[in-house]
Amino acid sequence: MTLTSREVRFSLPSLEVAGKVWGEPGGIPVIGLHGWLDNAATFDHIAPALKGVQLVALDLPGHGLSDHLPMAGYSLWQQASTVLQVAEDLGWERFALLGHSMGAIISGILTGSLPERIIGAAMIDGLMPFTSEPDDAPRQMARFFTSSLAVGNKRKPVYDSVEKAISARVLGGTTSIAREAASSLVERGLMPDHGGWTWRTDPQLMLPSPLRFTNKHAESFIEAISSPAMLVLANQGVMHEHPQVLDRIERFKHIQLHKMDGGHHLHLEAQAPDVAALLNDFYAALPKVDSSAP
């Protein structure tokens, strides 16, 4: 795989989606999916080390350089549908996935739903979404309604330098992240504003979900996975804050599980070479399919 990436844009029926491409046609076609509030740069440190694949890493809608969606447009299934639209645009009937965090959850949903299209899914510190039970649905919807009314009144912060934006990401993120790792994500996620810099990210992404899967819903997608699947679990990652989720992960014997010391963004930090080595072994074992250049 080439050390440098190139930019790509997909003109889908309802929006434009941006991305980064590593590798050339002929390798295993892989679509990369980043985590919540991140972007395609999440794979900058591991993509150059991948062998025999063509990686198309997306800025999912509302993130990075991609278009935003209308109100209430963001859901796991909507984002998954966008991935399929990109695959159609690429001419990829069958392809593999590489997902981190939210992107890993979307990968699990797609792989469980469409085994005939997904030849394999590698997931990094993410597998199942936050869940709630039916009795909580009215309260969850109320939280969404209340927050959506206020979202238009909130102003994005403006930083007078990119360095200050990076510091804000390091200090104010929902998970810990090294400065070098944050730099890759921040520089793709900023836009000029009033002589400074502010986030490109759609503020709607901060809204609570109007609906959540139940535990059974979430488990059903993972149990339905029949293609090869692998999870790299960060020993100091976000899932260790939810012991009940870890217990469920241990029960999914059909998912290759690799535990590794590191935080939630370990693929962007010091552990990136070790993560890339696991990914190379995983993708090398997948059946070969032809890919077309985006």
Q: How far is CA 115 from the centre of its chain?
A: 19
State the catalytic residues: 101
Cα gap 176→62, rounded to integer Å: 22
Strand pairing category for 229-234 and 196-199: unpaired
The Cβ of residue 65 has, within 10 Å, a number of other Cβ atoms equal to 18
Residue 236, classed as helix, strand or coil, is coil
With CA atoms as reference, report the closest residue to 229 among 109, 67, 91, 80. 109
Which residue carries 């190139």 as its tokens?
Answer: 6
Strand 229-234 and strand 256-260: the pairing is parallel
Q: Compute how many other C-beta atoms are within 10 angstroms of the C-beta atom of residue 138.
A: 9
Helices 102-113 and 215-223: crossing angle in degrees, nearest 10, is 60
Please state, in angstroms and rounded to a whole number, the distance separating the CA atoms of residues 94 and 137: 36
